[in-house]
């Protein structure tokens, strides 16, 4: 989440969604222009201050685009890319076969690559 120049911090605590002074955009590490919204399942289903956090994030994404990755996809990429776990181990962790874990990782990395190259705005 913090790798981009400007990162998005969705409201999480009571009062933040309604607070006009709550800053949803902050400085990141500046490693990429691609912004990733973590914990999408939490945001998708969470209601805060009478508003769906997903609706808040969707409206905010019109100002600056970001990528929402499902929790499992984030974990698969993290385990593969950063922990350097083999696909077999990742497959066991997610309850799938090695080949399914490999396909998930390959598709997620292709999507991230397209987004980082600026060819896709999903």
The pLDDT tens digits of the residues spanning 75-97 come to 898 889 888 999 999 999 999 99
CA distance 41 to 64: 20
Mean pLDDT of the chain: 85
Model pLDDT for residues 29-55, shown as the tens digit of each residue: 888 777 878 777 777 788 999 999 989
Within this chain, do residues 15 and 58 fall inside the same structural domain, yes or no?
yes
Q: Mean pLDDT highest for which of 64-78, 81-95, 101-115? A: 81-95
Number of domains in the chain: 2
Residue numbers of the domain that contains 90: 71-116
Within this chain, do residues 19 and 59 fall inside the same structural domain, yes or no?
yes
Higher local confidence (pLDDT), 47 or 68: 47
pLDDT of residue 121: 46
Length, in residues, of the chain: 122
The residues with which 52 forms a beta bridge, in sequence order, are 47
Confirm whether pTM is higher than 0.85: no
pLDDT of residue 115: 67
Within this chain, do residues 58 and 82 fall inside the same structural domain, yes or no?
no
Contact 65, 35 (CB under 8 A): yes
């Amino acid at each position: 989440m913090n790798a981009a120049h400007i990162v998005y911090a969705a409201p999480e605590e009571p009062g933040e969604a309604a607070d006009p002074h709550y800053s949803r955009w902050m400085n990141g590490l500046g490693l990429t222009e691609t912004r990733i919204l973590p914990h999408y399942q939490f945001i998708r289903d969470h209601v805060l201050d009478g508003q769906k956090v997903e609706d808040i994030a969707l409206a905010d994404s019109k100002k600056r685009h970001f990528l929402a990755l499902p929790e499992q996809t984030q974990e698969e990429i993290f385990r593969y890319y950063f922990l350097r776990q083999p696909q077999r181990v990742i497959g066991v962790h997610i309850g799938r076969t090695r080949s399914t874990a490999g396909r998930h990782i390959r598709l997620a990395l292709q999507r991230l690559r397209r987004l980082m190259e600026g060819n896709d705005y999903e």
